[in-house]
A and B are shown apart, each in its own frame.
Chain A
Amino acid sequence: MERVAVLGAGMTRFMRRAQETGKELAWEAARMALDEAGLTLKDVECVALVSAPDAFDGVHMKGEYLADGAGATRKPFMRSFVGGGSGVFAIIHGWYHVASGHFDTCLVVAEEKMSSTMPHPQAAFNTIYDQFTERPLGVNLLWIFALEMNRYMQVHKIPLETIAQVSVKNKLNGLDHPCHQEGITPGPDLTVKDVLDSEIMVWPVHRLMVSPVTDGAAALVLASERVAKRMTDKPVWIEGVGWHLDSSYWTNRDLYYPKYVEYAARMAYRMAGITDPRKEIHVVEPYDPFAYKELHHLEGLLLADKGEAPRLLEKGVFNRDGELPSCPSGGLLGVGNPIAAAGTMKVAEIFWQLRGEAGARQVARPVKRGLAQAWGDLMQVGTVVVLGR
């Protein structure tokens, strides 16, 4: 297995509605990642793309449509897909291209233009449910999150205030991210009360506990050890990758715990040689499309015991100056959620944190190893990457 390094990361601004087309967003992010890596498109041997449902961009086979924007013309090009988990899967997808020994460089691009769907992108989400037994009930995306959140809260007796605290932490963190979506954080004095006072969308989910609809793109440049050593004296290495998909029969499983995240994390830890993740992971970007999800995922990642994450949050462990900073970027709640691009933004954040280039977002403790994680599908997919320097 070849060692694989991350040489550069790039992203666009995250926006509710971008003037740029999907192709243009992909190009902006890819170009920034290449510039940072000190490479040009000529140096790119293959392209790995991720993007969530075609229904958002409004183009069937949108991978093909986006190919030129992602720099893939006349190159080996592959689009992979694991629903919302795609953003972190992106680097895994790129990783196996290089780790196989077949390519020395790979450009990884994640794009999402959700605003193209009219009148509301949520309507596209109805079609993620089973066409026989679920769609006829008139179901929307928020249902499944609300059902899972309520189950998680009931099993561990978690107060809504604690969940709201995640929103506050991430939205305040997001203010320091130059790419954050305009208006995503009501103000620098946001409180738990504000979150609880925001509109109930699907109880127990309040509006400020949900990441918004976003357009954006993010990109990474990966390289083999041979190329990495030539290009940089501070390489960031992919130390572990993991992904697992659970059954689609989600009503036959207990949603209180994301077993698929645990399996994905164990796979990544094994590869990275990590035996005690709570000591060996120094900064973490768990997936936070909804506020409770960050806590839920921290438990799945074995960074907290089952039901313990809310208590650690209350103690400030996950703050930027805490023992295990979580979502220092601001996450999906604080930066925005262009589905696939959001996960890749998290990987980019870990990359910048490890290089000490995160600016105002740089966490207080020294960091040598970080983890990014995404989730997807019907409470089904865990994707995990461990980066180290």
Chain B
Amino acid sequence: MRERVAIVGVGYTSFRPLSPEVSFREMVFEAACRAYADAGLEPDRVGTFVAVSEDYLEGTSIFDEYVPDQLGAVLKPVQTICQDGITAIASAYLQLATGLFEVALVEGHAKASNVLYPAHIEAFAMDPVFVRPLGLNPRFVAGLEMRSFLAQTGNTEEQVALVVAKNKANALKNPLAAYPALVTAEDVLASRPVATPVKELDIAPFADGAVVLILARESVARTLKSQPVYIRGIGWMQDTPNLDQRDWSQASYAELAGRMAYRQAGIRDPKEEICFAEVDDTFSYKELQHIEALGLARCGEAGVLLSEGYFLPDGPLPVNVSGGSLGNGYLYDASGLRSVLEVVLQLRGQAGERQLPDVRVGLAQSWRGIPTASGGVIILSNE
């Protein structure tokens, strides 16, 4: 039997709309110091480092250059993964599974406020021949997808608006969150249309922040002071990058990544076996779409369950109790790490005011944003 891998340390900054007081290096240093202190180990115990970044979100080509110093990773095996945060955890996980290393560190951060024209960067991710020349604001992709999702599944715009109300309210109990608020579904429905049916409040606003996670093989994890949270399953998946070939209503990447993670975790009935989930909600409809793709609700059922309170913190299957990206702010590829952070805190019983009772198995899921069809799923357990 293969040795298990656990998350043994978490470090983070608060998430905030602006962060002019610190450079990206200084922000990451804070998160790294917290992670080492949390795990109770020194940087020299870490065998391999994985960072997640994209050049155009940093404004630097070959950004992997600027990774090691603020992580204590100088003259160590370090690599950058240009993928979402959970896929970066998969990289660290695989490396530990080879047996070559005992401890790994994963870092992700966002300085979204430093990107002056984020929509232009997003547009630069479009296919340069077929899509980009249309000159559309990239959020049209979300509009097309949301409309198709609602039409195919029977979920409603009103139910989608409830996602925003739930997540922003959940964020009120999260001291790290950048955008906690009390808003109603009516407020969301009345907000400015962006790419109908997507409206302004349906979109997670950007935030700055950093998250650092430390992973270790079980034999090492048991010797550390922190409570280990075990990785029971992990999956990451790519669907077609072509807009004209994808499934517009279903999040097939999440479904496939979920299957991969469930298989490894031995989970047959996710709805029963998963105690709570942090799923991607970069756009509010994405939360419902991802819940269905992950088998946490049947197709077309997520909206009804939501309106019945099923996914509220006191419901049978709390989703995004942290506030999700709608409440915390969207951290680009670090968003997946922020979701994992919440699952770890909940499973350790360290989630403060928003702590869920008796949770044993949690799931985190990530999506890379427009125009991608890729993402990861991780299943964590405190047993």
Binding site for B on A (CB under 8 A): 1-2, 21, 47, 52-55, 58-61, 63-68, 72-84, 89, 93, 95-97, 99-102, 124-125, 127-128, 130-131, 242-249, 259-260, 263, 267, 271, 376-378, 380-381
Contact = CB atoms under 8 A, between A and B. Distances in A.
B87 A78 contact: yes
Contacts, number: 182
12 contacts: A54-B61, A61-B372, A63-B83, A68-B240, A68-B242, A75-B238, A96-B94, A124-B61, A127-B55, A248-B65, A249-B69, A259-B75
A80 B68 contact: no
By secondary structure, the A interface counts as mixed
A75 B237 contact: yes
Contacts of A378: 65
A159 to B, nearest CB: 31
Nearest to B78: A245
Given A53-B62, A245-B67, A247-B68, A65 B241 contact: yes
Given A74-B237, A74-B239, A127-B59, A79 B77 contact: no
Given A67-B238, A72-B238, A75-B237, A55 B61 contact: yes
Contact of A58 (B91, B128, B239, B242): B128
Contacts of B242: 68
Interface stretch (B118-126, B155-163, B336-344): B118-126
B374 A77 contact: yes
Interface in B64-79: 64-69, 73-79
Contacts of A248: 65-69
B252 to A, nearest CB: 8
Contacts of B59: 127, 131
Contacts of B87: 78
Nearest to B94: A100
A317 B372 CA distance: 50
A81 B49 CA distance: 12
A74 B93 CA distance: 21
Contacts of B206: none
B238 A76 contact: yes
A244 B75 contact: yes
A83 B64 contact: yes
A61 B54 contact: yes
Interface residues of B, number: 59
Contacts of A243: 77-79
Contacts of A101: 2, 97
Nearest to A267: B77
Contacts of B239: 73-74
A79 B83 contact: yes
A80 B382 CA distance: 30
Contacts of A124: 61
A60 B124 contact: yes
B134 interface: no
Contacts of A21: 129
Contact of A102 (B49, B82, B94): B94
A98 to B, nearest CB: 9
A102 B54 contact: no
A2 B2 CA distance: 12
B71 to A, nearest CB: 10
- Chain A to chain B: the 6 pairs with minimum beta-carbon distance, closest first: A77-B238, A100-B97, A245-B78, A53-B61, A60-B124, A60-B125
Interface in B119-172: 121-122, 124-125, 127-129
B299 interface: no
A73 B125 contact: no
B80 interface: yes
B68 A246 contact: yes
B90 interface: yes
B32 interface: no
Given A64-B125, A67-B238, A100-B97, A81 B77 contact: no
B80 A380 contact: no
Contacts of A128: 60-62, 65
B249 interface: no
A77 B236 contact: yes
A83 B95 CA distance: 20
A244 B79 CA distance: 9
Contact of A1 (B56, B73, B83, B100): B100
Contact of A96 (B68, B98, B238): B98
A65 B238 contact: no
B236 A78 contact: yes
Contact of B82 (A61, A97, A131, A259): A61
Contacts of B66: 130, 248
A66 B175 CA distance: 39
B74 A246 contact: yes
B240 A64 contact: no
